[in-house]
Amino acid sequence: MVKMMKFFSYSIFFIVMLIYFMPKVNAYYFLENELKKHEVIISGEEFTDTGYSLVINHPTLSLKSIDTAKAGVVDVKIYALYNSINISEIYLSSMASTFIPLKIQNLNISYSIIDPLNINGVAYGEFGEIRAKFDLMKMAARVILSPSKLMLKKYTKTLRNFKKSKSGEYIYEKNI
């Protein structure tokens, strides 16, 4: 029993230290280079490695040389069993103002070993609340929107792309 406890203690200690000393900034630069191949550029960011997460301040996202979004703080947590990205204070480009409201207060994207075939996301903003799930096996996305009054009033054309459920939520499904 004592040997078993030592084994688990050392294993947990090893995993915790591996996460703490992992080169998170280098992993970020690798991801940034992969995104450049698809003409997605992240610029203007400042890094802080807190040990267990990577905090990115004030990044700007550009798609095909067009600034599309700016964020306040991006907190990336990469653990062995659970990974998450939490982005706060997102401002979309004014070009998107005809489709959706431009301010997103919070976006959280998570992946867990408990549900290994799905990536989940939750967003809150002037549009209301969005819960999203991306199925990695089927390559299918499902988005459930609980719209705000602003969304219902000014962005009815966007809501036409969604199916309205009996509960008043709007559902969008797409296979990729």
126-157 pLDDT per residue, tens: 999 999 999 999 999 999 999 999 999 999 89
Contact indicator for 56, 46 with CB cutoff of 8 Å = yes
Give the residue carrying structure tokens 């706060």: 88
Residue 28 DSSP SS3: helix
> Which one-letter DSSP state was computed for residue 80?
S
Residue 46 carries which side chain, given as an amino acid letter?
E
| pLDDT of 97 | 85
Mean pLDDT in each 10-residue stretch from start to end of the chain (176 residues)?
88 86 88 91 90 92 89 90 93 88 95 94 95 95 94 91 91 92
| pLDDT of 96 | 84
How far apart, in whole angstroms, are the C-alpha atoms of residue 122 and residue 28?
Answer: 22
How far apart, in whole angstroms, are the C-alpha atoms of residue 4 and residue 13?
Answer: 14
| pLDDT of 124 | 96
Determine if the pTM surpasses 0.85.
yes
51: tokens are 């040990």
| pLDDT of 99 | 87
| pLDDT of 27 | 86
How far apart, in whole angstroms, are the C-alpha atoms of residue 144 and residue 133?
Answer: 9
137-176 exposure pattern, b = at least 16 Cβ within 10 A, e = fewer: eeeebebbbebbeebeeebeebbeebeeeeeebbebeeee
Contact indicator for 107, 86 with CB cutoff of 8 Å = yes
Torsion angle of alpha carbons 83, 87, 88, 91, nearest 10°? -170
Q: Where are the domains of the chain?
A: 2-175
Q: Which residues pair with 47 in a beta bridge?
A: 56
